[in-house]
Structure formats: C-alpha cells, structure tokens
Amino acid sequence: MNPSQESCAKCEVSFTVNGEQKKVLVHPMERLLDVLRNDLGLTGTKEGCGEGECGSCSVLLDGMLVNSCLVPVAQASGASIVTIEGMSAHVLMKPLQEAFLECGGAQCGICTPGMILAAVHLLEKKPEPALADIREWLAGNLCRCTGYMQIFEAVAKAARGKVAK
C-alpha cells in the first residue's frame, strides 16, 4: 500500500484515556487537544495559545507533562493519557484542590487544569519541592489572573499537607 495514500485518510488510533481504553477515527495530524475535547468530550483540557507557550492544554502522556496542542494524535497511539478529568481519584487531587481554594490559586480557571497537572507532574517526581522547583516546573503554564504567587503557595501548601499526612 502506498503510505501517502493510506495516511491521508482518517485512521483508527487507540489509547488509554484516564484509565479507559479508547478508539477514535481521526486524521493523524489532528491535535490531541482537539480529539480530547471534540471526539471524547473532555473539555477540562483548555486551549489557550495553541502554540505551546501557555500550558492550558497540558495533559500527562505516558506520565510526562505535554502540551496537547503540539501532539499530533497519531503520536499518541498506544499511549496512556491522563487529563484533568482523570485526576479526580488521584491522591494529590484533594490536597491540591483545597490548597488552590485556600490560597486563591484559581480565578478565571482557564489555566487551572494545566496548573494542577503540572503540579502533579512535579509532586510525583519531587514530593517536597523548593520554591525554585515549583517556579521551574510551573514556568510553562501561564496565568493572567493571579500573579502566580498564590499558585506557588498553593502547590507548596499541598506538598506540605501531603507530606505531613
């Protein structure tokens, strides 16, 4: 088969999203962001800039934080994807939610799913991060409301709370 013919048409791509096996019929260059939102109805993943600058579309792809606007869906074939919707049962979710509420870490909410996922990605690798770690690991997630300090405080508080328990 001529590969160029084959890959122009829609194709089936299978992956795991939030623990569930999914199969979608898509053009291979569709952005993972659009497939998550439009085909799978997972609208917790936001589009901000659409060019990898803002982190609103962050998801975990095989455990790694990525901007889903920069991932062609065909590259997610066979992968395990976690979106903000998949975080509800995560052990870090309750401390992070509470800390974001208490510290005022969420205002308009567009950046929040990405911020939470970036924070989870950090805390899974560094459970007791220094402020410099939090600043670095969240640097790819832009917020136009809070001025960031409330978010950094929230992540630090969630980490302390988690460690204390």
Partner 1 sequence: MRADPAEYRLFSPGNLQAVLSLLAGEPAQWLPIAGGTDVMVLYSAGKLPNRKLINIWNIPELRQIEVFSDRIRIGAACTYTALRRHDIVSREFPLLATAASWTGGIANQNRGTLGGNIANASPAADSLPALLVYDAEVTLISVRGERRVAYRNFHTGYKQTALAADELIRDISLPREFSGYVWHTRKAGARNAQAISKVCLAALGQIANGTIRDVRLALGSVAPVPLRLDETEHALTGKRIEPALIETARTSVAKEIRPIDDIRSTARYRTAVAGNLVAEFLYKLAAEGANA
Of 3 and 164, nearer to partner 1 (C-beta) is 3
Of 78 and 101, nearer to partner 1 (C-beta) is 78
For the bound state, the minimum distance from the C-beta of residue 163 to partner 1, rounded and expressed in Å, comes to 21
Antiparallel, parallel or unpaired: β 80-82 and 64-67: unpaired
Among 17, 69, 84, 111, binds partner 1 (CB under 8 A): 69
Is the Cβ–Cβ distance between 137 and 152 less than 8 Å? no
Asked if 123 interacts with partner 1 (CB under 8 A), we say no
Asked if 16 interacts with partner 1 (CB under 8 A), we say no
For the bound state, the minimum distance from the C-beta of residue 67 to partner 1, rounded and expressed in Å, comes to 5
Asked if 31 interacts with partner 1 (CB under 8 A), we say yes
Interatomic CA distance for residues 113 and 111, integer angstroms:
6
Asked if 29 interacts with partner 1 (CB under 8 A), we say yes
Asked if 142 interacts with partner 1 (CB under 8 A), we say yes
Burial call 34-71: b when 16+ CB within 10 Å, e when fewer: bbbbeebebebbbbbeeeeebbbbbbbbeeebbbbbeb
Asked if 71 interacts with partner 1 (CB under 8 A), we say yes
Strand partners, 81: 17, 61
Under the phi-then-psi rule, with left for phi > 0, alpha for psi from -120 to 50, and beta for the rest, what region is 149? alpha
Is the Cβ–Cβ distance between 119 and 153 less than 8 Å? no
List interacting residues with partner 1 (CB under 8 A). 3-4, 6-8, 26-31, 50-53, 55, 58, 64-67, 69-72, 74-75, 77, 118, 121, 136-137, 139-142
